[in-house]
Amino acid sequence: MVVLYNAPQSTCSQRVRYVLHAKEEGFEEHRLDLFSGDQLKPDYLALNPNGVVPTLVDDGRVVIDSAVIMEYLDETRPDPRLVPEDAFERARMRAMLRFIDEVPTPAVRVPSYNLAFLPHFQAMSEAEFEAVCEAKPLRREFLKKMGRTGFSEADMAEATGRLRRGVERMGHWLAESGGPWLMGACQTLADIAVMPVIVRMDDIGMAPMWDDFPAIGRWFEELKATDAFRPTYYSGSLLTEKYPHLAEAKRAEAVSAV
């Protein structure tokens, strides 16, 4: 029995859901409400002391951290294989994973929090906000930097720069491999790792950032056509589906661009 504790809009959760669906692995899904503090309740912290999602429980064994879970699933359920057979190519893929997790993945959280999540924190008292920060060992400094007024223009500019570097690197990988996937003919964990970043950027109106890299647009269409994509991004998984003001802003931007 595989059990996945996750949240619909969590980018890290989306990675793991995709891998499970790609491998046609049945699983019991527990959807946590992060703004209700489900991830900070004692029973969940007993599984994942970091107080974040996702957490996978496989036959009673607990695996945490989305990157670790993805590799674990590929090692224990190797059909279809999502890592290269060749050791050198696996090393290249892991270098891609490291870049994705160090540069674009944390960067996309900054506009996400400012655009969608900030009102939730603004509704808290200072004491409540501090308590949330202290309860999140992996996100404490990130939340404190945001505060209850949001990330600064400088922070947003830095995040945008990091996302741009991520897009440029992705464009380079696709040009080097010839596509349709980052490493060529076969989809790998690198594609799945960067997937939530691209989906989130598209969802919050940042897709023009890859206008100069049409291969990314083709990669995105290829990804959306996979059997695993639709069940991964079920209704409510996108920020614009949960926050109407974001959907309206995205529509307005689309109209102004015509």
Q: What predicted TM-score, i.e. pTM, was given to this entire model?
A: 0.93
pLDDT in tens, 17-29: 999 999 999 999 9
Which of 96, 74, 73, 99 minimizes the C-alpha distance to 85? 74
Query: Phi and psi dihedrals of 186, rounded to 5?
Result: -110, 135
Phi/psi zone of residue 63: left (φ > 0), alpha (ψ -120 to 50 degrees), beta?
A: beta
Q: How confident is the model at residue 245 (pLDDT cuts 50, 70, 90)?
A: confident
Handedness of CA 59, 15, 98, 85 (dihedral sign): positive
Task: Report all structural domains of the chain as residue ranges with CATH numbers, in order of start.
Answer: 2-76 (3.40.30.10), 87-257 (1.20.1050.10)
| 142 vs 68, higher pLDDT | 68
Instruction: Using the predicted structure, report yes or no on whether residue 40 has a pLDDT greater than 80.
Output: yes
pLDDT in tens, 149-162: 899 999 999 999 99
Q: What is the DSSP letter of 226?
A: S
pLDDT reported for residue 161: 98
| 158-162, 182-186, 244-248, range with the lowest pLDDT | 244-248
The whole-chain average pLDDT of the chain stands at: 94
Section 15-44 average pLDDT: 95
Q: From CA 192, how far away is CA 202, in angstroms rounded?
A: 16
pLDDT reported for residue 203: 96
Instruction: Using the predicted structure, report yes or no on whether residue 209 has a pLDDT greater than 80.
Output: yes
pLDDT reported for residue 61: 98
pLDDT in tens, 219-233: 999 999 999 999 999
Instruction: Using the predicted structure, report yes or no on whether residue 174 has a pLDDT greater than 60.
Output: yes
pLDDT in tens, 93-105: 999 999 999 999 9
Calculate helix-pair angle for 11-22, 189-203, nearest 10 degrees.
Answer: 130
Q: Give kind and range of the element (H or E) at residue 173.
A: helix 153-177
Q: What percent of the chain has pLDDT over 90?
A: 78
